[in-house]
Amino acid sequence: MSDINSGQNDKPAPRQTDRWLEPGPTNALVIYILYLAGLVIGISGLVGIVLAYVNRGKAGGFVESHYTFLIRTFWIGLLYALISAVLIFVVIGFLLMFAVAVWFIARCILGLQALQRGEPVKNPESWFLGL
């Protein structure tokens, strides 16, 4: 005897866990988490910026402001970190590096809070905290 359903559904059904790669609030949440983990595990920040660039322009709605905010957070944070690294030779760089880490964490937390409330980032192109 043959299976009645054979050949009808050869494609496996998508798993629920695959949705974190699709543009939307869940993906933005993952990117925020990757950024915060990047302070400890450097490579995760790079994965986050790639995901943000891939999904920017596809989500629509309030999530678009989060993708802009996430991309700018990465690049501005990198710029600030490089300036701090250069200034380490003048000793003030250590203090600035700490300030950059606090700025980065605060920006991610404020973005996460807005995302969880279903709100856009008020000023995603801000160089400070996006308020």
- Percent pLDDT > 90 in the chain is 65
Closest alpha carbon to 119 in 60, 35, 63? 63
Mean pLDDT of 75-81: 95
CA atoms of 80 and 93, how far apart (whole Å) = 10
Full-model pTM: 0.82
User: Which 3 state secondary structure label does DSSP give 20?
Assistant: helix
**pLDDT tens per residue across span 25-56:** 899 999 999 999 999 988 999 999 999 999 98
**pLDDT tens per residue across span 81-109:** 999 999 998 889 899 999 999 999 999 99
pLDDT at position 57 is 87
pLDDT at position 15 is 57
- Residue 22 makes CB contacts below 8 A (sequence gap 6+) with 55
Mean of pLDDT over the chain: 86
